[in-house]
Structure 1
Amino acid sequence: MGKDMLKKILKQQSHPSLAVKVDLEKLKLEEYIVVDVRTPQLYSSTPHIKDSYNIHDIKELEALCLAHKDKKILLVCNGGLESAKYGTLLVESGLENVYYLDEYLQIIEEKIPLEYPKEKR
């Protein structure tokens, strides 16, 4: 399967959430605190958005959202599923400043430069 075909399939997938879904085409990273919700091991061993926080624990994530109620918190992961789940949990806990990116890293990289682990370069 070619890269373009894979991207087309990935673009058609959707992960519902109670958090607000952000359109990659309109995304301005400077408007958000970006949090990658993948495990620390996955975050440190794979590409991720430069300067993103890595918080996998829901309580720590909730504390960050509460500490920055005046900021938009953008949740990201490898493909949107985990960020959608975390987004729903945070909104259910009463938070309103939660957004998520429902995109795969392969697609994000076309618009947002990713940081790669040093050993992978």
Structure 2
Amino acid sequence: MVKSNEILLIKTLEAKNELAKKKAQEKQEKCQLLKEETDRKALIEERRANAAEDKAMAKLLQEENKIMMMNRNEMDEVTKEWHDMARLEILERRRLAGRGHALPRFGEHGGSASGGGNGGGEDFIL
């Protein structure tokens, strides 16, 4: 009978051991799935940020192209001065971009995105 109890005890311990191993493996798999989900969410967020940045850059380029193509014939002197400064800033930004430098935002070199007159710049805000 003692031997039978020992066998029963050994089998119970083996079953507990097996259950503990199974729980540890399930926990490890759950952690791995959570890590993969976190990585996937981070990648999605990075793609969203890149898309937003691309959209902002496209809008900036569109606005800069609009400034570069403005007709100066009907501008007053103040607007012409603003227009010249804006064009110079745009050209400098594009030169820097061609050399791989970080681009300053429009208006960071002392110019302004707002100007009086008929240049249409008063609604251009970046």
Tell me which interval the TM-score lies in, with the shorter structure as reference length. Answer: under 0.3
Higher relative contact order (CA 8 A, sep 6+): 1
TM-score by length of 2: 0.22
More helix by share: 2
Larger strand fraction of residues: 1
User: Which has the higher Rg, Structure 1 or Structure 2?
Assistant: 2
